[in-house]
Amino acid sequence: MRGDESLENHRIFVLLGYLDELKLPIDSSQSDCYLWALSPMKSSPTKYASPALAEKIAKNYGTTARKLRVNMVGAEDVSKLVKKVQRAQVKTSKHAMQLD
Amino acid sequence: MARLAKPSGIEFVCTERPFSGFDFAEARFAGSPPIRRLFSLGRSKGARSLIVEAVEPEGPVLEENDDITSIAPDHSAVALIRVSFWKKAVKNHADFSSLTSRYGIGYAILKHDEIPSRGIDSWHVFEAVFIGNKHHHNYLTTSGRIRFRCGQRHFSVTGSLYAQQNAISKACAQVALRSLCATYLNEPDLSFRKINDLASGGDPSFVPSAGLNSTQIAAVLKGLGIPYAEINYEANPSLREPFPYQKLVYSGVESGCGALLGFRLSGPAAPAVGHVIPYVGHTFNEDAWAPHADVMYFTVGKTIEYVPSRAWMSSFLVHDDNFGANLCIPQNFVHRDNVGYAVELLPRGYSYSGALAEIVASQYFYSLLPALFSSGGNTWLRRLVDYVNQQRLILRCVPITLAAYVKALGNAEDWEGMKEDPTSITDLTNINADKLWMIEVSVPEVFSTNKRKLGEILLDAEHALSDKIDGASFVLARFPENYVFFSKVTPSGTPTFLTTPSKFRSHLPLLRRK
């Protein structure tokens, strides 16, 4: 078998060259790191862990939580694939396969 | 149930040379391939004796006899034999009295049915459970400890239940379902009648010997309360390339729940209906060449998002009711174009596939890593970035509860022996989530040789997966010296996270199955 069949190559999402760009000097004193063009998203409440919990853990180390602002790379492609799989699961019953 | 039934007689058989499993299986059980396979399994695991007992039909076997008779009134249940295989020589009752489960290799219930009007006079394996291969590359993940009787005593064996069709009241689909569901539910006596009842939904025209269609398979899983994720590739052929069946199947076996694969047969005489088999484990070869060679030789210049942990897997472990139990299939042997239907069984309370979790986690990873990389000079974060640049990021998705995760973190030491701050471990118990997909992040040598990782991303598995970076599924991420919490999406649409320190500076053990 060819190697590319033995591995799952997710070529649809990301151009990895962006990490090379990071090797350019970055001002790490910035509390917010802006990366590339931003794609609009709807806001959503934090459900699992409150900012207070992050602050509490940071306090255990004598510091404060650091804010990271990030951009999703290839978000649309991931979203499309996930939606496609989820849609496929919904319509499976319309094309039943007989197995004996 | 036949596995626990009182025997009417007991026979001790020495299987040391010149005993022939072929001769014995042919003389006693007409020697079908799955029955011969039982003797091969016994031989390969060092069987020195077998114990043969005639038992009376009980429970699911009795039900099956009734069901067959309702289909074919001239049915005769000719014989029911329980055979168990042992690593110790047992020649008499004195030897038998010192037998314990640790000498057990497996047991099988062999059933002889006769239906003159249909020309049926055959033996089949009603059920069999054998220990997995002790080879350290083999992981029989979908297995359970099952009790059986031998003589007047009870023993147990840890394995994955196998069953064979009889072409009357059950076909490949029913036996594949019983294999997985009996283990999943820890109900070894899950009956074929129950499976057929759930599949038919009361339809009087239901013919069990015709097998089940994919909708009926889903109905059985639903009826048994087993969550699942399925893809019908015949209805969605465009998913074969971006979401191949191996992803779904591997996620099922890696989680310990199992998976089913339905495929079309090929060849000039191939019938129209497909075949389905249960997937119960996988191999893992730390010396695998393909994960290294793929990027260097076969995908030169192409973009690879990540290398899944199954790249180190040579074969899936399966049962095939036509051939027997505990067989290996090279992971790409069943061609994608032949595959029509794949089902991943999910852990209780999980609502979506681990394969999808892995994809979404990769998106979080690529978003977070640059920001984390800018924050300091951790050697392992630098190495992680270097490996990512070489397209060598490894992701492995496994289910875990928050409590188990926090406990594992509290017990873990990084390579230099550093433990996490206990107060922070206690604080992490305040996270408001329970069932999680944990996507472990690693790099080649650390992963395959040391079975360790550089971090993990945790996604909530109970609620529907959000395909957006909106914090709806993201619970937590951890990388060397960092925990990452989701904060909010700003009004301008930018996701923001909060990062806090961690005492772990290097790699931690991968989650290991007990």
Is residue B166 within 8 A of residue B75, CB to CB? The reply is: no
Same domain, B341 and B371: no
What is the mean predicted confidence (pLDDT) over B156-161? 97
What was the pLDDT predicted at A61?
A: 95
CA distance B289 to B285: 9
Tell whether the torsion through CA atoms of B125, B129, B131 and B137 is positive or negative: positive
What is the mean predicted confidence (pLDDT) over B227-241? 95
| DSSP H or E run through B148 | strand B144-150
Q: Which residue of A has its CA nearest to B175?
A: A100
pLDDT at A91 over 80: no
Same domain, B113 and B221: yes
Q: Which residue of A has its CA nearest to B264?
A: A99
Same domain, B16 and B55: yes
Q: Do the Cβ atoms of A88 and B486 come within 8 Å?
A: no
CA distance B471 to B466: 8
pLDDT at B463 over 90: yes
What is the full DSSP assignment across B272-314?
A: SSBEEEEEEEEE--TT-SHHHHIIIIISTT-----EEGGGG--
Contacts of A49 in chain B (CB under 8 A): 430-432, 475-476, 485-486
CA distance B70 to B196: 14
CB nearest A19 (choices: B262, B298, B385): B385
Within an 8 Å CB–CB cutoff, is residue A2 touching chain B?
yes
Tell whether the torsion through CA atoms of B294, B261, B162 and B113 is positive or negative: negative
Q: Is B310 exposed, middle or buried (0-12, 13-18, 19+ CB in 10 A)?
A: buried
What is the full DSSP assignment across A29-91?
A: T-SS---S-----------SS-HHHHHHHHHHTTS-PEEEE---SSHHHHHHHHHHHHHHHHH
- Among the ranges given (A5-9, A70-74, B369-373, B469-473), the one the predictor scored with the smallest mean pLDDT: A5-9
Q: How confident is the model at residue B326 (pLDDT cuts 50, 70, 90)?
A: very high
What is the mean predicted confidence (pLDDT) over B392-403? 96
Q: How confident is the model at residue A78 (pLDDT cuts 50, 70, 90)?
A: confident
Is residue B458 within 8 A of residue B477, CB to CB? The reply is: yes
Same domain, B398 and B503: yes
Beta bridge partners of B130: B106
Is residue B341 within 8 A of residue A99, CB to CB? The reply is: yes
Q: Do the Cβ atoms of A54 and B500 come within 8 Å?
A: yes
In a domain, B295, yes or no: yes
Q: Do the Cβ atoms of A95 and B367 come within 8 Å?
A: no
Q: How confident is the model at residue B355 (pLDDT cuts 50, 70, 90)?
A: very high
The two three-digit tokens of residue B480, written as one number? 């060397």
Query: How far is the alpha carbon of A63 from chain B, nearest alpha carbon, in Å?
Result: 8
What was the pLDDT predicted at A46?
A: 55
Q: How confident is the model at residue B391 (pLDDT cuts 50, 70, 90)?
A: confident
Is residue B232 within 8 A of residue B340, CB to CB? The reply is: yes
Nearest to B320 by CA among B128, B39, B80, B85: B128
CB nearest A5 (choices: B332, B376, B498): B332
Q: Do the Cβ atoms of A7 and B363 come within 8 Å?
A: no
Contacts of B469 in chain A (CB under 8 A): 41, 70, 72, 75
Final residue in a domain of this structure, among B327, B345, B363: B345
Q: How confident is the model at residue A74 (pLDDT cuts 50, 70, 90)?
A: low
In a domain, B265, yes or no: yes
Same domain, B150 and B243: yes
**Structural domains in chain B (count):** 2
Q: Do the Cβ atoms of A91 and B235 come within 8 Å?
A: yes
User: What number of C-beta contacts closer than 8 Å exist between A and B?
Assistant: 327
In a domain, B439, yes or no: yes
Q: Do the Cβ atoms of B275 and A99 come within 8 Å?
A: yes
Is residue B86 within 8 A of residue B151, CB to CB? The reply is: no
Same domain, B301 and B369: no
CA distance B174 to B191: 10
In a domain, B514, yes or no: no
Q: Do the Cβ atoms of A8 and B308 come within 8 Å?
A: yes
Which CATH number goes with the domain that contains B264? Answer: 3.90.70.10
Q: How confident is the model at residue A94 (pLDDT cuts 50, 70, 90)?
A: low
Domain span at residue B157? 2-345
For chain B, give the percent of residues with pLDDT over 90: 87
Half-sphere exposure of B118 (CA within 13 A, CB side): 18
Within an 8 Å CB–CB cutoff, is residue A36 touching chain B?
no
Is residue A89 within 8 A of residue B243, CB to CB? The reply is: no
Summary mean pLDDT of chain A: 62
Instruction: Please report the residues numbered 5 through 34 in chain A whose beta carbons come closer than 8 angstroms to any beta carbon of chain B.
Output: 5-16, 18-20, 22, 26, 28, 30, 32-33
Longest dimension (CA), chain B: 81
Query: How far is the alpha carbon of A75 from chain B, nearest alpha carbon, in Å?
Result: 7
Same domain, B210 and B281: yes
Q: How confident is the model at residue B302 (pLDDT cuts 50, 70, 90)?
A: confident
Same domain, B161 and B277: yes
What is the mean predicted confidence (pLDDT) over B326-345? 96
Q: Do the Cβ atoms of A75 and B469 come within 8 Å?
A: yes
Nearest to B199 by CA among B211, B185, B217: B217
Nearest to A78 by CA among B285, B432, B469: B469
Same domain, B441 and B335: no
Q: How confident is the model at residue B300 (pLDDT cuts 50, 70, 90)?
A: confident
Rounded to two decimals, the pTM is 0.91
For chain B, give the percent of residues with pLDDT over 70: 99
In a domain, B258, yes or no: yes
pLDDT at A58 over 90: yes
Same domain, B121 and B255: yes
Q: Do the Cβ atoms of A47 and B471 come within 8 Å?
A: yes
pLDDT digits (tens, 9 = 90+) for B467-506: 888 889 999 999 999 999 999 988 888 889 999 999 999 9
pLDDT digits (tens, 9 = 90+) for A6-55: 344 333 333 233 333 333 222 222 222 222 222 333 444 457 988 899 99
Identify from B166, B200, B303 which residue to disrupt to test chain A contact, counting A C-beta atoms within 10 A and taking the largest count: B303
Is residue B353 within 8 A of residue B465, CB to CB? The reply is: no
Is residue B415 within 8 A of residue B499, CB to CB? The reply is: no
Within an 8 Å CB–CB cutoff, is residue A67 touching chain B?
yes
pLDDT at B135 over 70: yes
Q: Which residue of B has its CA nearest to A83?
A: B467
3-state SS class at B333: coil
Contacts of A20 in chain B (CB under 8 A): 389
What was the pLDDT predicted at A8?
A: 43
Final residue in a domain of this structure, among B316, B345, B374: B345
What was the pLDDT predicted at B485?
A: 95
CA distance A91 to B232: 9
In a domain, B136, yes or no: yes
Same domain, B425 and B338: no
Same domain, B242 and B104: yes
CA distance B408 to B101: 31
CA distance A51 to B376: 22
- Residue B182 CA to chain centroid, in angstroms? 13
In a domain, B185, yes or no: yes
Is residue B125 within 8 A of residue B164, CB to CB? The reply is: yes
CB nearest B467 (choices: A46, A61, A82): A82
CA distance A100 to B452: 42
The two three-digit tokens of residue B233, written as one number? 């590739």
What was the pLDDT predicted at B1?
A: 85
Summary mean pLDDT of chain B: 94
Provide the ipTM.
0.84
What is the mean predicted confidence (pLDDT) over B216-222? 97
Q: How confident is the model at residue A1 (pLDDT cuts 50, 70, 90)?
A: very low
Q: Do the Cβ atoms of B431 and A48 come within 8 Å?
A: yes
Q: Do the Cβ atoms of A92 and B215 come within 8 Å?
A: yes
Nearest to B71 by CA among B163, B192, B213, B172: B192
- Counting other chains too, the contacts that B216-223 makes at CB distance below 8 Å and 24 or more residues apart are B216/A96, B216/B173, B217/A99, B217/B173, B217/B177, B217/B260, B217/B262, B217/B276, B217/B341, B217/B343, B218/A92, B218/A93, B218/B343, B220/B177, B220/B181, B220/B195, B221/B177, B221/B181, B221/B343, B221/B345, B222/B198, B223/B198
pLDDT at B106 over 90: yes
CB nearest B232 (choices: A8, A41, A92): A92
The two three-digit tokens of residue A16, written as one number? 């990895």
Final residue in a domain of this structure, among B286, B321, B345: B345
Is residue B455 within 8 A of residue B365, CB to CB? The reply is: no
CA distance A6 to B109: 37
Query: How far is the alpha carbon of B81 from chain A, nearest alpha carbon, in Å?
Result: 26
What was the pLDDT predicted at B15?
A: 96
Is residue B397 within 8 A of residue B354, CB to CB? The reply is: yes
Q: How far is CA B236 from CA B20, B240, B243, B342, in A?
A: 49, 8, 10, 12
Contacts of B173 in chain A (CB under 8 A): 99-100
What is the mean predicted confidence (pLDDT) over B340-355? 97
In a domain, B413, yes or no: yes
